[in-house]
Amino acid sequence: MDVVDTWTGRTACALQEALRMTNEAFAKKLGVATRTVAGWHKEPDIVPRTEMQAALDTEYERAGETVQRRFSLLSRPPEERTQAQALRVAIAVVTRADEVLLVCRRGDAALSWQFPAGMVKPGGSIESVAIQETHAETGVHCAVREQLGSRVHPQTGVLASYVLCAYLAGEAENRDSVENVDVAWVPRAALTRFIPADRIYPPVLKALEAA
């Protein structure tokens, strides 16, 4: 979690955006008038009074990890935000009957199960990258069924685009031993045993329940 030394109108509005709140809802949460929040939008360099600094500290500390990571991105200078969001990753949610395909990646501190994914170069196709990276990583051929949406990934800060894919052919195997430790078909009902539910993009969970 980033530490905010002094809140300004700009960082207060970044917290509001990270919480996805209207001016009215954010003002109510902080116990101030709506015009106060509107004033922060008009004067981003203003420094709120001491008691408001404490109130903003409290709401930031109470926020979940996803909100805090979103705030970290939104509070960066505009040029840094643009650079971070320019990085786009295509994530393939591949299903076969009642199973979903996962890869187990090597991390800095621990292993983590994830959906197959790959970086999308400028001008590249999300669907093509999802299909190509799935085959490159796992040997599985798939076809895109639908796009599930995009978000700024709470762990990496890059723009992640999700596509639901149907299995076509191929045996699942680890074809990228540098990045991955294992590949597996996992029962959809057991997915959250591998990836915590709060880390899964909600439209992915909804699509898997409906598929």
Model confidence pLDDT, tens digit, residues 191-206? 999 999 888 999 999 9
**Is 76 in contact with 155 (CB distance < 8 Å)?**
no
> What pTM was estimated for this model as a whole?
0.61
Strands (DSSP E) along the chain, which ranges?
88-96, 99-105, 112-114, 117-120, 141-152, 159-169, 180-187
Q: pLDDT confidence of 80, banded at 50, 70, 90?
A: low
**Is 99 in contact with 188 (CB distance < 8 Å)?**
yes
pLDDT per position as a tens digit, 113-135 = 999 999 888 778 999 999 999 99
Q: Would you say residue 1 has pLDDT above 60? A: no
Q: Would you say residue 173 has pLDDT above 90? A: yes
Distance CA 123, CA 7 (A): 38
Average pLDDT, the chain: 88
Q: Measured between alpha carbons, how far is residue 11 from residues 7, 14, 80, 142, 181 in Å?
A: 6, 5, 15, 43, 40
State the sign of the Cα–Cα–Cα–Cα dihedral 43, 45, 50, 54: positive
